[in-house]
Structure 1
Amino acid sequence: MAAKQGRNAAYRDNGRVVRLDALFDATSDGIDMDVPARVVDSETKYRGAIFAVEDRTVALTRNDGSETLIHRQVVVHAPCVVMLVHDVRTDRYLVEREYRAGSNITTIGLPAGLIDVGEDPRHAMLRELREETGVVAEDVDIDDAGSYYSSEGMTDELAHIAVLHLREWSQGECRFDTDEHVESAWVDWRTLLTLPITASNSIIAIQHERIRRLSA
């Protein structure tokens, strides 16, 4: 429904109403984009501790009702949480440093982690914050920044992003996985903006907070 509503959007160009669906249709090669795709076959090519890779055959519907098949590889990944953590009293933000396999470098970023099966995203945020940094939130305002696919062309990983405004918190012990090594530090807003943070989900959280600070 959301995709179709977006497709039916319209705007004015020199006083003329332009419909987005008409622009899309002008470049169509005959596929009816309003009909949901159908997964015909899926074979798991790899399964690891964090993700699996599936080889899928997908049917797309043509305007005449017939179908055409396409093939895609999908990284099947658990949903995750990404948090920009704000200490309200000192107006500082929590950042982390750890090795990231995708970029093969040690990076600076924000607390993040996977959501357990059946777990609420907000619960996962507080749990991951406690486990990775030892920060126990006692009074927190969670400002939801939205949920976004990390890379919708290749993975089903959905990132739930928020800014956590901590009014009261205490410092406990970290509980890392056996192969997890994370350092953390509190920095002020100006310093946060100068850090070489390149993870897109972290940037979304920071930009969300930037808008709040500009509006305050």
Structure 2
Amino acid sequence: MFGRSKQEQLKHRLDTKLNASSDGIDMDVPAEVVNTATVYTGRIFHVDDMTLALTDKQGNKHEISRQVLRHAPCVVMLVHDMSTDRYLIEREYRAGSDMFAYGLPAGLMDEGEDIMEAALRELAEETGVVPDKDTMGVDFVGDFYSSEGMTDELAHIMVLHLGPFKQEKRHFDPDEHVESAWIPWSDLVATRITASNSMIAIQHEALRRLIARHADDENKPSLFS
């Protein structure tokens, strides 16, 4: 184990435990694509029908079938106005859940665009908020697959802590209709938000606020000191 990073050590421990329940497939051998065909192409995503081969510990191949929804990566932002301690919330129609859902600013990345470029572009387009990048703080929460059993969509999730910002005109796509408003933290955590990526960002911020509050409490003078 000497020389391995903590993450590598953890992976080794997990894999050793999991191997005890193996049905024979060698999960150290990458899956092999036997064939793939695009069976649907739409404006936003396409669907591949795939046959893949998994290798067992004797070297034999076992074919499996999967359909994968191919989707551009996206950005998801919890936006915090530090001067007022308020957060941006949105509402728009979501076809998957068939409802006008509450959520956070988010959107697809353009080809060749980096994560922060996409985040600030989507924020400006949907809400008109244009932060001062020199005073803005960014907590990169992580990169998470929306549903890794069926799609390759990767969500880059972050919390933006804004200093000064400008409010400009919004720019929607022709079939896009989004409402946005600033609300206090207490209202945000009480709102029913059903998008998992949005909830990851909110839970991350809840932990940050809890740690900050605990630190403040420890620094307050005690009556008994």
Return the TM-score normalized by structure 2. Answer: 0.88
The equivalent of 2:113 in structure 1 is 119
What CA deviation, in whole Å up to 9, does each residue of 1:42-67 have, x standing for no partner?
Answer: 11010111111110011111101121
Does residue 39 (structure 1) correspond to residue 41 (structure 2)? The answer is no
What CA deviation, in whole Å up to 9, does each residue of 1:4-54 have, x standing for no partner?
Answer: 765412xxxxxxxxxx33432222111100111111211101011111111
The equivalent of 1:145 in structure 2 is 141
Does residue 161 (structure 1) correspond to residue 150 (structure 2)? The answer is no
Return the TM-score normalized by structure 1. Answer: 0.91
Does residue 189 (structure 1) correspond to residue 185 (structure 2)? The answer is yes
Pairing 1:2-151 to 2, within 5 Å after superposition: 6-9=10-13, 20-138=14-132, 139-151=135-147
CA RMSD of aligned residues (A): 1.5
User: Against the structure 1 CA distance between its residues 115 and 128, is the aligned structure 2 distance closer, same or farther, given a 3 Å change threshold?
Assistant: same
**Counterpart amino acid of residue 203 in structure 1:** M
Q: Matched residue of 1:8: which SS?
A: helix
For 1:158 and 1:4, how far apart are their aligned partners in 2?
Answer: 23
What CA deviation, in whole Å up to 9, does each residue of 1:156-200 have, x standing for no partner?
Answer: 000000000010101000000000000001000001011011100
Q: Rg: which structure is higher?
A: 2
For 2:10 and 2:114, how far apart are their aligned partners in 1?
Answer: 28
Task: Provide structure 2 residue ranges, at least 5 long, that are not aligned to the other structure.
Answer: 213-225
Identity, % of aligned positions: 61
Corresponding residue pairs, total: 205
The equivalent of 1:177 in structure 2 is 173
Contact residue 4 and residue 34 of structure 1 kept, 8 A = no
For 2:45 and 2:205, how far apart are their aligned partners in 1?
Answer: 30
Task: Provide structure 1 residue ranges, at least 5 long, that are not aligned to the other structure.
Answer: 10-19
**Counterpart amino acid of residue 78 in structure 1:** A
